[in-house]
Amino acid sequence: MVTLLKTHPWKSIFLSMLVILMIFHQWFLSLLGNFLVYDQEFEQADVTVVLNTGSELYPRLIEAANLYNQGKIKQIVINGNRKTVTLRKLEAMGYQPAQPWYEEHLRILEVLGVPRQQVITISGETAYDTVSEARLVGDILLNRGIKSVAVTTSKSHSKRAAYIWSTLYARELTIYSNAAQSDPYDPDGWWQHGRQIRWVLAEYGGWFFWHWKNLFAIK
């Protein structure tokens, strides 16, 4: 055995790392899960933007309504109306939606105490990820004279979303990160839930792609 380890020292390193991982796996996985969450306290912002990309939209709407009812924001910004190539083909064939894309969102917010006139709706047909959504929505808000924004999104999406918005608009907007409190994500036990595993993998994939894209100037 000693001879084998001397001949192949990488096996000893691998086995040692495996043992360490088995002993401390919960601590390590919790670290990965908590890294993704970024929730800030703030007193006042002009608007909260409910991000549409990602998962768990309803907790985000609930969180936005809570901010409005607490007097922390003046208006709620929602966006949607994504158009894929397939959907555009269906529209060309005569398809029409049963109601405007924002109607369900407005009805949910009304139930939660937010008047329709306090909701800004933005059609984002070409937004397909957090970056394109931020660029589209952020530019419209700047044109409206908005100065401060609370970015409301899912817990697992909160740090990356805040990082992207701050990177794009740090000079023009005051950005606050607001994680939806009713979102089911558990940073200390995400690996026990299939959906949450997908969320975590998607977030780290998003981080990787953001830096990869900037490194190689991919549009």
Per-residue pLDDT reduced to its tens digit, 93-141: 999 999 999 999 999 999 999 999 999 999 999 998 999 999 999 999 9
**CB-CB contact of 161 with 177 (8 Å):** yes
Tens digit of each residue's pLDDT (9 = 90 or more) over 127-180: 989 999 999 999 999 999 999 999 999 999 999 999 999 999 999 999 999 999
Task: Identify the CA nearest to 84 among candidates 125, 53, 129, 124.
Answer: 125
Q: How many CB atoms are closer than 10 A to CB 32?
A: 14
pTM for the whole structure: 0.86
Distance CA 173, CA 71 (A): 20
User: What's the CATH code, domain 45-182?
Assistant: 3.40.50.620
Beta-bridge partner residues of 121: 78
**Strand (E) or helix (H) holding 189:** none
